[in-house]
Structure 1
Amino acid sequence: MQESAINYINDPVEIAPKIWWVGHVLDGDPFQCHVYLIDNGKESVLFDPGSKLTWPYTRKKILQLMPLENIKYIVCHHQDPDITSGITDMLDEIGIEGRFLVTHWRVYELLEHYDWGIDFYEIQDNGWKLKAGDRTFNFIFTPYMHFPGAFCTYDPETKILFSSDIFGGFTKEFHLYAKDAKSYFESMVPFHTHYMPSKQIVNHGLDNIEKYEIDLIAPQHGSIIKKEMIPYIIKHLRELECGIYLEYEGVKDIEFVSKFDENLSKIFEVAAYFESFQTDTQKILNILRGILPLKNIQALALIDNDYFIKLDSFSSEILECDTKKDEVLKKYQDIIDDKERYFISSKEFKFIKFDKEYTLYLFPLLDYDKRVIGIGIFVLEKGFKQNNEAIEVLKKLEIPINIIAKHETEIYKMENEKKKIYTMAITDSLTGLHNRYYLNEISRIELLKSKRYSYPIAAAYLDIDHFKNINDTYGHDVGDIVLKQFAHLIKNSVRESDLVFRLGGEEFFILMPYVDKNEAQSIIERTREILKKNGCIHIGKEKICYTFSTGITDTLESGYNLDDLIKAADKRLYEAKTTGRDKIIYH
């Protein structure tokens, strides 16, 4: 019979010869409870009778098959009210005479408080077996799945395992039989991750179960599992991390938390194989799509206790925060100092601009020693439900984001340090101009571009006239003042695209893209005029004025080799020096 043709409200379902499903479907309940009946004449067996809500329906189904009085053995795999609270109504109707409640002693210790007066058949005292007429059932001990005295029942005749909570699932729609192994296991994940205490306990129980040849698994919750699905489900159940309440306190939405927890290892793997803040957080956003309405991951990271930088899932560029450090620290002192966490509207957060209103979850960004190094920001949909589950999940998500942000800030600091060292290496410490080392480096690039795109570069070699006399007369300190002033004058009188270098002593060199030697002469002449008007310096009562000489060439006449340009310009500089100084020679 097709499952869709079965009337689960009214009809029992035979799942094996003389073995019946007699449970009831509660509308909209993902936690359906199954009841099973073995028709064994006057020694029939009923497994986990159900609750006061479901017993009236179970009773009607049983009466279609046999008188209630035929039930001699009532097996209770555990003591929870969803399988035991209906027993009171059942025994009130058929009495306790000649009947036994079959269970583990640990369950008995709890169920005796119902004061039913029925005899208990304790399985551990009876060799973990029950002989009912011509049938014998085996009991499999699965301790702590999900309580200390948990066990399953195995019927050797049909090879059916009545598995209690093990292999149960949360199903959105009722299906008596699992449709396929993969999708059913997915429904098992949230059930087992919070019901079962640990992977070790689950595997111990599965070791005991797999000693038996099983053709069908009939769990108390979820769906019945056929033989061909069993290997896949057991294999994956062995790999499942359980005990979710050890990690997530106070949660109720187990399905949401389980889906997140399933993906947490993937998220940590992303953090472990760090690429960049943008790349890694983009991967995390993709992993969490459909689980968490997370739109962006951002951070304000404090660098050397000096300033904040902005990190963003949607930007590879790392920018220094416009806001001063002290203003951020003052506004969010509770996060920085007290490690507080809270939700706010994006309208209230003034240090990052947003395209529309979001809910922000702010948290302390921590380094490996748990020291606060900034503020982490999870950008969530406006109206995000701020419940226990969400808070627990976001707290867990903080950890990989801390790792990723720490990596990014360390790389940023190293790159900054490299830039500082490189800047020092290419900069003349006295004047702040580029030095000969940088001239050698950048000229290869500039001259190659000039040759490839057919535009000229002019080269000017400058030398301060009679600089030795300034040093000898006024001292090297005054000489340094002159050099710095001259460097400043050159830098501010040439074009922004021109590259100015101090070669050493009083010698300077300029590369001037897109101009020939004639145009370069006009630019340097402007520098001479400015120096004549405003170039004198005053040391006490002394007024020190100076001039400079220049030799100019260009790539059109000297080619694209730096040494050739320097030689040609230096030759003309020498000519300027020996023919009166304070002049420009360019042809």
Structure 2
Amino acid sequence: MTNEEIGVIFQNIMQSKNVGLLVLKNDKVRHINKNFKNYLNTLGIEASYKTLLDINENYNQDFQIYKKYSFLENLLEKYKKFNSNDNEDRTHHTMALSKSNLELFYTGFVHNGEKYNVFTLKPLHKNLKLMNNKFFELLKNISKLSTEILSNSNFKSYDVFNQIFSILEKEMMLDAFIISLEDDDFMYINFGKIKAHDLSDLYLPKYSLTGYVSTQKQSIYIKNSLEIDMQEGFKIFHASKPEVYSVFGIPFDVGNGLKGAILFERKGYDSFLKPEIKILEELSYTILSILKFAKLYEDLNNEKEKIYDLAIKDKLTNAYNRVFLGEYLENALEKAKRYGEKYVLIFVDIDGFKSINDKHGHNYGDTCLVFFAETIFNCIRNSDILARYGGDEFLIVLNETSLSEAKKIIDRINIKLQNSLFKLSISYGLLELDKNLTIEENLNIVDNLMYKMKYKK
């Protein structure tokens, strides 16, 4: 560091009447002003540079001070490392101390073989207007981001919250952001990140910290996560080894099953400033709007799926109907022609089903059909399909399966049906889809094969 650089540092410091200054040269005090001592008193620390810096002598006896003011411990580690390393040229560290609205700055540098350590304490109130402007821009950017993602047809709330966390992590040095929803006896983590660790889609007990916050009537600020006085039965679950975190928690209940808590966390004791808490409160309204939109989006999609299922599935057996089957087979035939894909058709029918209905009634017959379909579903893959062709006639379509494998599958189905309480037997026809024939011609062939088996019984 040059003389000019050192001169600029001290000139800037000395021009301000509000800055507290402590300068050490080779671990000896060269200057400590009245402001620095007064600010230490504001923090509740004895007005002595030794309390801050004499690590070897005072660290153990003043442990309670360091435990209460965790920033001192972090600062001392940097100071100790710098002064024990002959090769290190410089280091610096800045931290806002929200407890007294002060900002602490430390820098260490080597000049002409001498080691200098400079500490300053200054009030933050002159920067509040600047901070508010910064936070306003932050909210504006998040709002713009949310609007862009919400208008996307493939909207996912996780994507919005993940980008919000990225902004907060960068602009506000946030360490954790968690949104949890009450779910019976658990708290479901709708979105959760602690630095790079993703906690989304996990379930925590309701007696966890998120559950505790959700029971509150208003937002709460926890200065020290290790010393929180929660009511009996609640406790904190740590993702890693316990550390001191400041936590700002916001409970919410916006109806439609959306009740839970939002948690913002940062390492250190009492590490959030009042303007930061205010901006996080404002941000919570955006987060809740996204949650409500996501719930509405999910409900609409579920409704669309139900309507679609009603259009393509048999209501009784949940097998596909003939409308869907026709479209599926047309696509299968096209793939067989273009790409050589293989499909096996199994036309299957319950033997004596009319007699079952006549003897036991239609309700019993319907129960047999449901069991029949469930048995088939349990024996085929998700990539295969089952369609109700009519009455007790069903068509199974197996893709990329040989006739010999298809025979094993239908035999397994037959054994399960015969050994069931219903004692059902079946007749079936097997056919590899012929790409040179039409769908109707293929269906006629496999249907005739099924009836040939039935007539032989």
Specify if TM > 0.5. yes
Q: Distance in 1 between matches of 2:259 and 2:345?
A: 49
Q: Distance in 2 between matches of 1:319 and 1:290?
A: 20
Length-normalised TM-score, structure 1: 0.46
> 2:456 maps to which residue?
580
> 1:500 maps to which residue?
386
SS in 2 for 1:407: helix
Relative contact order (alpha carbons < 8 A, sep ≥ 6): 1 or 2 greater?
2
**1:477 and 2:363 equivalent?**
yes
Which protein is bigger by CA-based radius of gyration?
A: 1
Alpha-carbon deviation of 1:440?
Answer: 3.9
Alpha-carbon deviation of 1:465?
Answer: 1.6
Contact 1:256–1:291 under 8 Å retained in 2: no
Alpha-carbon displacement from aligned partner over 1:448-489 (angstroms, at most 9, x marks no partner) = 555555342101011112211111122112211221222233
Q: Distance in 2 between matches of 1:463 and 1:259?
A: 72
Contact 2:248–2:263 under 8 Å retained in 1: yes
1:550 aligned to which of 428, 434, 437? 428
Q: Distance in 2 between matches of 1:258 and 1:299?
A: 26
Equivalent position amino acid for 1:431 in 2? T
Alignment of 1:456-535 (within 5 A): 456-495=342-381, 497-532=383-418, 534-535=419-420
Alpha-carbon deviation of 1:404?
Answer: 2.2
Alpha-carbon displacement from aligned partner over 1:233-277 (angstroms, at most 9, x marks no partner) = xxxxxxxxxxxxxxxxx9775143442234333333334444343
Alpha-carbon deviation of 1:553?
Answer: 0.9
Alignment of 1:153-164 (within 5 A): none
> 2:136 maps to which residue?
261
Alpha-carbon deviation of 1:550?
Answer: 0.6
Contact 1:559–1:565 under 8 Å retained in 2: no
Q: Residues 271, 493 of structure 1: CA spacing in aligned structure 2 closer, same or farther, 3 A cutoff?
A: closer
What's the C-alpha RMSD, in Å, of the aligned pairs? Answer: 4.6
> 1:29 maps to which residue?
16
Q: Distance in 1 between matches of 2:140 and 2:199?
A: 28
Alpha-carbon deviation of 1:349?
Answer: 5.3
Alignment of 1:121-140 (within 5 A): none
Q: Residues 512, 322 of structure 1: CA spacing in aligned structure 2 closer, same or farther, 3 A cutoff?
A: farther
2:285 aligned to which of 385, 388, 399? 399
Q: Residues 471, 373 of structure 1: CA spacing in aligned structure 2 closer, same or farther, 3 A cutoff?
A: same
**1:341 and 2:220 equivalent?**
yes
Length-normalised TM-score, structure 2: 0.58
Alignment of 1:129-528 (within 5 A): 254=128, 255-275=130-150, 276-285=156-165, 287-288=167-168, 290-295=170-175, 297-301=177-181, 308=188, 310-311=190-191, 322=203, 327=206, 332=211, 334-336=213-215, 338-343=217-222, 345=225, 350=237, 360-365=247-252, 367=254, 373-381=259-267, 385-443=271-329, 453-495=339-381, 497-528=383-414
Contact 1:364–1:372 under 8 Å retained in 2: no
Structure 1 residues without counterparts, runs of 5 or longer: 9-23, 33-52, 54-249, 538-544, 582-587
Alignment of 1:31-70 (within 5 A): none
Alpha-carbon deviation of 1:345?
Answer: 4.8
Q: Distance in 1 between matches of 2:437 and 2:452?
A: 23
Q: Distance in 1 between matches of 2:199 and 2:349?
A: 42
Larger deviation: 481-490 or 424-433?
A: 424-433
Contact 2:187–2:203 under 8 Å retained in 1: no
Contact 2:353–2:392 under 8 Å retained in 1: yes
2:447 aligned to which of 570, 573, 582? 570
Q: Distance in 2 between matches of 1:274 and 1:404?
A: 10
Percent sequence identity is: 25
Q: Residues 573, 414 of structure 1: CA spacing in aligned structure 2 closer, same or farther, 3 A cutoff?
A: same
Q: Residues 253, 473 of structure 1: CA spacing in aligned structure 2 closer, same or farther, 3 A cutoff?
A: same
Contact 1:463–1:506 under 8 Å retained in 2: yes
Alpha-carbon displacement from aligned partner over 1:269-315 (angstroms, at most 9, x marks no partner) = 33444434344345444555653012454422468999956135799
Alpha-carbon deviation of 1:394?
Answer: 1.9
Contact 2:189–2:204 under 8 Å retained in 1: no
Contact 2:210–2:261 under 8 Å retained in 1: no
Contact 1:431–1:484 under 8 Å retained in 2: yes
Q: In the comparison of the two structures, how many residue pairs are matched?
A: 330
